[in-house]
Amino acid sequence: MAKSKPIHVAVGVILNSDGAVFISRRHAHLHQGGKWEFPGGKVEAGETVLAALQRELQEECNIAVEQALPLTVIEHDYGDKRVRLDVWQVTSFSGEVKQREGQEWCWVAKHELDAYPFPAANQAIIDCLTQGQI
């Protein structure tokens, strides 16, 4: 039986002027609920990844992404769901970052990310951050 196509997700890595990273906790009822994540969401049909990132971060985080650079692409199979994370580093934005969808959120120093439980697919992003690649 063929596996379904992975869910394509645009993910933003947002750093503040102190180098801390913006993360939020997934709602309990969602897949991987209760775990922390980097903001983003599904890429819609006919939408570029950058356009999806801009839309999702405006909806979720109250910011207008002005510039972003592709960072990495992660494919992960959770068994019940496959994801393709298209990860971008947000290098310039306007607006004040805040969580608009009722999720718990915080700014975390890169070296403290390991203290937060993330979905397995996010480990490669955390590795990039903690190893100084971002």
Mark the binding-site residues, compressed into ranges: 26, 31, 37-40, 60, 122
- Cite the annotated binding site for Mg(2+) by residue number: 40, 60
Q: What gap in Å lies between CA 1 and CA 104, rounded to an integer?
A: 39
Residue numbers belonging to the annotated binding site for 8-oxo-dGTP: 26, 31, 37-40, 122
How many of the other CB atoms lie within 10 Å of CB of 134? 17
- Which DSSP letter does residue 81 get? -
Segments in 7-83 forming alpha helices (H)? 49-61
